[in-house]
Amino acid sequence: MRAPASAIGKKAKCPKCGNAVPIVAEPAQAAGPSLPQQRPAAASPRTAAAPSSAAIPEEDGGLLDDLARLEQTVQTTSSQPVGGPTITCPGCGVPVPAGNRLCIACGYDLKHGRRLQTVQLGPSAVGRVGEAAKVAGGFTLGVVLSFVGALIGAGVWCAVTVATNYEIGYIAWGLGILAGLGMLLGYRRAGPKAGAVAACIAVIGIIAAKIMIVAYFVGAEIKTNVSAAISDNPHVHRLAEHHTERAARRQGLSYSDPAREDLYDVEVKKFANLPSDKLDAETKRLDEWEAGGRYADGEYVRDALLYEYVDLAIAEAGHPEAEEESDEEFSPEEWAGFFSAASAKVNALPPEKRLQELKRLEAEEERRGKENRLAWHRATLEAQEQGLYRGDEKRETLRNRQLEKIKKLSEKDLDAAIEGMEAWEKGEKWADAEFVRNELIYEEADELWRTDSKNERQEAVFSVVPKEEWPRLYAQAKAKVDGLRNDDRITRAKALEVLRQARLKIRLDRLHEERQAEVRANLARAGGGLLKEIIRSMFNPFDLLFVGLAVVSAYKLASMGLIYLKRE
C-alpha cells in the first residue's frame, strides 16, 4: 500500500485484511543483486469493490482510509469506466468521460493539451514572500506613526505659542524628533528611504504649525480691528476714553501726546469685543465710580490732583487753551517742567489733604466751565447782531468781554443764568424775535452758498462759506429775511433747523459707511497679507535654524536608527 510522505509515522487500515498497520518510509535498497519483488495478485472487480465503509471498521487513521478508498475508486474507474462516450487520456491512457476538461488520474489538461504541474515552494521562498509582506506593512505603519508624531508636535507648538504669546523654536526641533521616532518605531528598520519620508513629514508638520499659529494671531487681530472700527456703541467709546485717560495720567502723558491715540485704540478694541452683558457690567461699574467711588481711589485722587496743578501752571504760563485739553503750544521740555513741579507739589501733601484739594479744584473747574459756556452763548448772540463771520477773531474778544462780566456773578446768580440759558435753548428762543431774525439770516446765507455758482462742493452735505464771500451772501440773506413777517421767519427758521439736523444725520451715516468700506478694504488687504505673513514668519533666520534641526533629526533617526534596530 502506498501513502503520501506526510503520512509517515501514522497508522492506516489495510484495504484487504482491515488491520491497522504503521506507515514507514521505504527502506533504501542494499548494494548487490536485487531480488525480484512479488506483486500481489490483481484483485477482481468484485474483490476490489469488497472493502467498504461497512467492511472496514472506523478506527484511527481515517484520513489514510479515505486515501485508500480514493485509490480504489480510481482503479475501479480506470478498469470499468462509467457508461457513456469516453475518450482516452493522452497523458496516461485512462478512459475519460467525453466533455471532461481534466483527467483526474494524471492531471492532464484535455482542453489545452498539456499536463498541469504542481509546484511546491520551499521554506526559503515562503520566507521571502512573508518578509516582503511584513516590510510593506511596517513601512505603512511607520508613515502613519510619523504623521501622528508630527501632528502632536505641531499641536503642542501651536498651543504653547497661543498660551504664552511667544514662539519657542525648540518645539519645532522636537517635532522633527517625533516624526523620526514615529517612522523608526513603525517601520522597525532604518534606511535612506525611511529617513527621506520622515524628513518630508517633519516639514509638513512645521508648515501646518506655522499656518495655525499665524492664522490664529492674524485672525484675532483682524476680528478685533473690525469690531473696533465698526463699533458705534457709545458705551464702548465712553469706557475707552475713561481707561485711556487713567492710563495716560499714570504715564504722565501730555494732552497732545501721540501715545494717547495708541492707548485709545487698544481700549476700543478691548471693549468692542466684550459680550453685551460684560459691557453693561463695565458701564455700571463706571457709573458707580463716577458717582463717588472715584474719591476712594487713592491713585485717581493723586493723578487727578497732579493734572489740576499742571493745568493751573500752564494757564499761568500763558496757555489758557490747555484748560480745555486742546493742542498745546509748548514743547515737551516745558511739559516735563510743568509735570515735575506739579508732582512735587502733590507729593508734599498727605493723602487726606489731597482729596480736599482735589474737590476744591474740581469745584473751581466746574464754575469755570459754566462761566465759559454762558460767555460763549452771549458772545454768539452779540456776534450775530453784528453780522460777524463764523470764524471771525472778534468773536473771541466778545467772549472774553462777557467772561469778565460773568466772573463777577455769585454762585447763585451764575446757576440762575445757566438755568435761564438752558430753558431758552429748549424752546423760549423762538419767542425772541431778534434771535429768530439773526439766526435765519445765517441759515439763509448758508443755503445761498449751497446753490452758488462759485461753490465747487454744491453736492456736499455741509459746505462752509468762505470768508471772502461772507459779506455778499450776508447782505443777500439779510434782504431776504427782512422781507418776511415774523411768523414766516419762525416757520422758515424751524424748517431750516430740521433740515440741518437731517443733513447732520446723513453726514454721520456717510461717515459710518466710509468707515465700514475702509474696514472691508483693510480686511481684504489683511487676508491677502496672511499668506505673506506666513511666508515671512517661516523664513526668518531664527526659525530656519530650528526647521533645519528638525528635518535633520527626523532624517537621521529614520535613516540611521538605533543600535538594536535592523538596518536595510
In a domain, 568, yes or no: yes
218 and 153 in a common domain: yes
Provide the total of helices (H) and of strands (E) in the chain, helices listed first.
Answer: 17, 8
The total number of structural domains in the chain stands at 2
465 and 383 in a common domain: no
**Residue 471: predicted pLDDT:** 93
561 and 498 in a common domain: yes
Per-residue pLDDT at 403 exceeds 90:
yes
What b/e sequence results for 375-392 when a residue is b if at least 16 CB atoms lie within 10 Å of its CB, and e otherwise? bbbbbbbbbbeebbbeee
Dihedral of CA 104/105/111/114: which sign? positive
**Residue 63: predicted pLDDT:** 46
**Residue 153: predicted pLDDT:** 87
Cβ pair 417, 374 in contact under 8 A: yes
531 and 469 in a common domain: yes
Q: Is 260 exposed, middle or buried (0-12, 13-18, 19+ CB in 10 A)?
A: middle
Give 8's pLDDT tier (boundaries 50, 70, 90).
low
Per-residue pLDDT at 421 exceeds 90:
yes
The pTM of this model reads 0.50
Q: Looking at residue 322, what DSSP letter applies?
A: G
Report the range out of 8-12, 119-123, 179-183, 456-460 with the highest average pLDDT.
179-183
List all residues 6 or more positions away from 430 whose beta carbon is below 8 Å from its beta carbon. Answer: 436, 490, 493, 494
**Residue 221: predicted pLDDT:** 61
In a domain, 68, yes or no: no
225 and 192 in a common domain: yes
Closest CA relative to residue 96, chosen from 116, 119, 77:
77
pLDDT per position as a tens digit, 222-251? 555 555 555 567 888 899 999 999 999 999
385 and 444 in a common domain: no
Dist CA 330 CA 411 (whole Å): 33
In a domain, 223, yes or no: yes
Total Cβ atoms within 10 A of residue 436:
21
Report the range out of 115-119, 188-192, 446-450 with the highest average pLDDT.
446-450
**Residue 528: predicted pLDDT:** 59
SS3 call for 260 = helix
In a domain, 387, yes or no: yes
Three-class secondary structure assignment of 76-120: HHHHCCCCCCEEECCCCCCEEECCCCECCCCCEECCCCEECCCCC
H or E, element range at 558: helix 541-560
SS3 call for 20 = strand
471 and 517 in a common domain: yes
In a domain, 426, yes or no: no
Per-residue pLDDT at 124 exceeds 80:
no
467 and 562 in a common domain: yes
Mean pLDDT of the chain: 77
More confident site: 236 or 542: 236
In a domain, 181, yes or no: yes
Structural domain of 405: 350-414
In a domain, 404, yes or no: yes
565 and 444 in a common domain: yes
More confident site: 403 or 462: 403
477 and 409 in a common domain: no
Give 321's pLDDT tier (boundaries 50, 70, 90).
very low
490 and 405 in a common domain: no
Per-residue pLDDT at 562 exceeds 70:
no
468 and 404 in a common domain: no
Per-residue pLDDT at 549 exceeds 80:
yes
Q: Report the pLDDT averaged over residues 309-329.
A: 65
pLDDT per position as a tens digit, 425-481? 988 899 999 999 999 999 999 888 888 777 665 555 566 788 999 999 999 999 999
In a domain, 156, yes or no: yes
Return the C-alpha cell found at 258. 501721540
Q: Are strands 95-97 and 86-88 parallel, antiparallel or unpaired?
A: antiparallel
More confident site: 397 or 34: 397
pLDDT per position as a tens digit, 140-168? 888 999 999 889 988 898 888 888 877 77
Q: Report the pLDDT averaged over residues 60-77.
A: 50
What b/e sequence results for 52-89 when a residue is b if at least 16 CB atoms lie within 10 Å of its CB, and e otherwise? eeeebeeeebeebbebbeeebeebebeeeeeeeeeeeb
DSSP 282-305: HHHHHHHHHTTGGGG-HHHHHHHH
Q: Is 234 exposed, middle or buried (0-12, 13-18, 19+ CB in 10 A)?
A: exposed
